[in-house]
Amino acid sequence: MPESERIKKWKKTRIVTPEKLAVARQVLLDIKAGKGVLEAARSKPMPDGSIISKAGLVAAYNEMVESGQLAAETPLLEKIRMKPVRTLSGVTTVTVLTKPYPCPGKCIFCPTDVRMPKSYLPDEPGAMRALDHEFDPYTQVRSRINALDSLGHPTDKIELLILGGTWSAYKKDYQEWFIKRCFDAMNHTEDHQELESKSLLEAQSENENAAHRNVGLVIETRPDEIDPKELVRLRWLGVTKVQMGAQSMDDEILLANKRGHTAAKTVTAVGLLRAAGFKIVLHWMPNLLGATPTSDRQDFGRLWEQVCPDELKIYPNQLLANAELYEVWKQGQYTPYTTQELIDLIVDIKPSVPRYCRINRVIRDIPSNNVVEGNRRTSLRQDVHAELQKRGQVCQCVRCRELRSTKVEGGELANNDLVYQAGGAEEHFLSFDTENDKVAGFLRLSLPGHTSPDTGFTDLIGAALIREVHVYGQSLPVGSEQSGFAQHSGLGTKLLHQAEQIAKQKGYKMIAVISAIGTRKYYLERGFERGEYYLIKKL
């Protein structure tokens, strides 16, 4: 198949000239000898007076390792890698957006732009990339992998995050095509032209052994789109994690903001997703029409009483000119919280977040020029943490306790089992933690009870469910090991064994895991077998 212009465009971004490489080699040797990165780069400027970029240094590092001029050294690569935090959670996230398409929701706070899928703005970082690629899934994925590669990040374990309006509202043939093309892009190798598989199943099968394996597939939808039939559809597509906008657990607030569903619907949807083994990410919005800081504090508590999400995105409502709420504000019937009111609110609620939940975000990355009135700071998380420190308080959410780049040895870790009830199931959050309470790895085990909803999956009849296995630290290539790093040190296998023992003691005869396409091999090597939609193992 001839290469498209968009494919040619992103390939051009890979070019590093011989002149740049020559300078980068010299700078790299100075860094290896002990100089700081910036000091070394400044001491050997480019012919035009500029300094070599980190992408240039990474390119030179890869070339010198391949030619044998330099031994592969992780500490050296870590020094020149740009934004290492991007892969410190153990996987590399690639975000893509679907094309503009009508959303069934009529929410008054949601921005509308004909160029974008509902709720997105064209100058948001991820949206800008999607618009530049005309929402083509293949080139979005390839360009992002290329960019991460050039900055020295490992890209063999990809969590694919598909954003854009309400996924379940898109036509089914578009959904299938979009995900197939994403898999084609992950299956792409340098010696191939643009790939196009014959079917989604073929692309998924290829990805089990691909250079860029999919270790998680995330979509976003609405609670009123989730039913047993949709669960089957999502599993067939390869989805492992679902993001949903709960927004509020107060029916009056939901009605005032024309959300289009009740809090009870959110509870039902979360229960179904949990019973089917999905990881659950909810969005919660303080400062909706009709809410107050006091009512938001109360509403936040309902999340842990009624739904217990695995992850949460706190998206304070932001007043935008292209949303219906703007007209309500002009009539004097809505008042956005100030930045300080928001900080105080989030500081008050964040310490109450359970240890099993990860707070992914505390503000949406909307450029401040779009905000009409109210908070314009996108660094709200840093502001909140600074205030928590002043108060002598800490947040115990998973994100705040991630191991990240800290090196540990297995003997230093404590094995913990946090048990809680949610959606008719007994949940076990199994973790390995350091002495200073950093999470090195965890597993989410769900033991369905008699009140758990019936999903209709034959794979899950009488089975305990492993909903997530995650080991932290800088993402390392598949099959590699490195002393002191949590990844590839056997923590995942130990957690699996512990989950199996708990399930067996509780009387379960089988255990199932909701595996991403690229992690099937990992579980198959540990005694699991292929079911219809899950990998299963008899106890």
pLDDT tens string 334-345: 999 999 999 999
Query: H/E element holding 67?
Result: helix 54-67
- Give mean pLDDT, residues 215-222: 97
What CATH architecture is 222-401? 2-Layer Sandwich (3.30)
Statement: residue 502 has pLDDT above 90: yes
- Give mean pLDDT, residues 149-160: 86
Statement: residue 109 has pLDDT above 50: yes
Give the pLDDT of residue 15: 52
Beta bridge partners of 538: 510
- Choose the weakest-confidence range: 199-203, 296-300, 427-431, 488-492: 488-492
Given pLDDT bands bounded at 50, 70 and 90, which one contains residue 73?
A: low
Beta strand 311-314 with 358-361 is parallel
> For residue range 247-288, what is the model confidence (pLDDT) as tens digits?
999 999 999 999 999 999 999 999 999 999 999 999 999 999
> For residue range 171-212, what is the model confidence (pLDDT) as tens digits?
999 999 999 999 999 998 765 567 789 999 999 999 999 999
Given pLDDT bands bounded at 50, 70 and 90, which one contains residue 486?
A: very low
Contact 76, 61 (CB under 8 A): yes
- Residue 65, judged by CB atoms within 10 A of its CB (0-12, 13-18, 19+), counts as middle
At 436, the amino acid letter reads N
Share of the chain above pLDDT 90, in %: 69
Residue 206 and residue 186: Cα distance in Å, rounded? 10
**Higher pLDDT among residues 532 and 127, named by residue:** 532
**Higher pLDDT among residues 252 and 27, named by residue:** 252
Residue 299 and residue 249: Cα distance in Å, rounded? 6
Statement: residue 351 has pLDDT above 80: yes
Would you identify the CATH topology of the domain 410-538?
Answer: Aminopeptidase (3.40.630)
Statement: residue 409 has pLDDT above 70: no
Going by C-alpha positions, the residue among 213, 156, 225 that lies closest to residue 182 is 213
Given pLDDT bands bounded at 50, 70 and 90, which one contains residue 75?
A: low
Give the pLDDT of residue 208: 97
- Give mean pLDDT, residues 472-498: 65
**Chain centroid to CA 395:** 20
Contacts of 120 (CB under 8 A, 6+ apart): 97, 111, 113, 127, 163, 164, 165
Q: Dump the DSSP string for 185-198.
A: HHH--TTS-S---S
**Higher pLDDT among residues 368 and 263, named by residue:** 263
Angstrom CA distances, 404 to 75, 438, 466, stand at 15, 9, 23
Q: What is the dihedral of CA 385, 388, 389, 394, to 10 degrees?
A: -90
Residues of the chain with CATH 3.40.630.30: 410-538
Residue 275 and residue 429: Cα distance in Å, rounded? 16
Angle formed by the axes of helices 137-150 and 54-67, to 10°? 80
Angle at 307 between CA 516 and CA 415, to 5 degrees: 60
Angle formed by the axes of helices 228-237 and 263-275, to 10°? 50
Given pLDDT bands bounded at 50, 70 and 90, which one contains residue 65?
A: confident
Statement: residue 480 has pLDDT above 60: no
Residues of the chain with CATH 3.30.750.200: 222-401
> For residue range 320-335, what is the model confidence (pLDDT) as tens digits?
999 999 999 999 999 9
Statement: residue 458 has pLDDT above 50: yes
- Choose the weakest-confidence range: 116-125, 217-226, 315-324, 358-367: 116-125
Going by C-alpha positions, the residue among 446, 463, 432, 470 that lies closest to residue 531 is 463
Angstrom CA distances, 470 to 173, 239, 519, stand at 32, 16, 12
Statement: residue 477 has pLDDT above 60: no
**Cα R_g (the chain), whole angstroms:** 24
Share of the chain above pLDDT 70, in %: 88
The pLDDT mean for the chain works out to 88
Q: Quote the pTM value.
A: 0.85
Give the pLDDT of residue 13: 46
Going by C-alpha positions, the residue among 357, 343, 433 that lies closest to residue 395 is 357
How many DSSP H helices and E strands does the chain contain?
A: 19, 14
Going by C-alpha positions, the residue among 295, 264, 270, 298 that lies closest to residue 283 is 270
Give the pLDDT of residue 174: 98
> For residue range 122-131, what is the model confidence (pLDDT) as tens digits?
888 788 889 9
Beta bridge partners of 371: 320
Q: Dump the DSSP string for 377-402.
A: -S-HHHHHHHHHHHHT----SHHHHB
Residue 537 and residue 527: Cα distance in Å, rounded? 7
Give the pLDDT of residue 475: 45
End-to-end CA distance of the chain: 48
Give the pLDDT of residue 23: 79
